[in-house]
Amino acid sequence: GDEYVISGQKTWSSRASFADWGFGLFRTEEGSKRHKGLSFILFDLNSPGITRRPIRQLHGEPGFAELFFDEVRVPAANMLAGEGQGWNVAMATAGFERGLMLRSPGRFQATAKRLVDLYRANAANASPATREAVTQAWMGTQAYAYNTYSVAAKILAGGKIGAEASLNKIFWSELDRSMNRAAMQLMGAAAELAKFADGSVNQWLDGYIFSLSGPIYAGSNEIQRNIIAERFLGLPRQGAG
């Protein structure tokens, strides 16, 4: 009829503890397997039948939630691109997430600037390795910005994001981790006094803890390396012998 009735469970939903809307891939064809028979549906997170169980992170904030759907009624008009087309939509959104939108260069450039300021304030205690890490971080954020502009220009010219989104994802997740790690090294033991220290230390600790999840979310880096090997470099498929 005019509605889909959704039942099931989903963990690791970012920001679902406080968001109003969500989207997901749902199996709409009985008996279908893997990426076939899936549909992309948007849903109001306040709908009757949805239970959210916030997941608390290391620092106590509930950045994620586990969602339970118990016969949730969603208007059929909330489906994007038609029944069974969900995988195509998800691959397009994953391409943008990994390759362009999720972690903007401006955000990294701002972090690199804060890192340079932190280095200047602590230069007397910094090892040559930390100085090198700060320089690499600053150069990495500039390179990341130029690369993002080039991907955007390619799309504006009618092109598509391809397997290079996986290269980008590995780059930004490793850059984020190394920038935050360098900051932690500059601050020494004080960096771990999250609850008691001033705002700047808290912010770096927050960033460091979050950066550790970068190689996992938006598709783990091991999987991105498989994609690069198979689709970019044309190497044999994993398990193909």
Ligand X SMILES: Cc1cc2nc3c(=O)[nH]c(=O)nc-3n(C[C@H](O)[C@H](O)[C@H](O)COP(=O)(O)OP(=O)(O)OC[C@H]3O[C@@H](n4cnc5c(N)ncnc54)[C@H](O)[C@@H]3O)c2cc1C
Which of 55, 109, 219, 231 binds ligand X (CB under 6 A)? It is 219
Closer residue to ligand X, CB minimum distance, 144 or 210: 210
- For 35, list phi and psi in degrees, rounded to 5: -85, 0
Amino acid at 23: F
- Span from 9-17, 122-130, 150-158, 194-202 in contact with ligand X (CB under 6 A): 9-17
Site string for ligand X, 29-68 (x = CB under 6 A): -----------------------------------x----
222 binds ligand X (CB under 6 A): yes
Closer residue to ligand X, CB minimum distance, 51 or 220: 220
Closer residue to ligand X, CB minimum distance, 71 or 238: 238
In degrees to the nearest 10, what's the CA dihedral of 11, 13, 18, 21? -110
- For 169, list phi and psi in degrees, rounded to 5: -60, -45
Tell me the residue length of the chain: 241
Closer residue to ligand X, CB minimum distance, 123 or 216: 216
Which runs of E-coded beta strand occur in the chain? 3-14, 21-27, 38-44, 50-55, 64-75, 79-80
Of 29, 27, 155, the residue nearest 96 (C-alpha): 155
Which of 96, 226, 229, 231 binds ligand X (CB under 6 A)? It is 226
CB atoms within 10 A of CB 67: 21
User: Within 100-139, which residues bind ligand X (CB under 6 A)?
Assistant: none
Which of 76, 220, 235, 237 binds ligand X (CB under 6 A)? It is 220
Which of 216, 232, 235, 237 binds ligand X (CB under 6 A)? It is 216
Token reading at 82: 């038609």
97 among known catalytic residues? yes
Three-state SS for 47? coil
93 binds ligand X (CB under 6 A): no
Instruction: Find the catalytic residue in 66, 97, 174, 230.
Output: 97
Closer residue to ligand X, CB minimum distance, 55 or 116: 55
- For 22, list phi and psi in degrees, rounded to 5: -140, 170
- The catalytic residues are 97
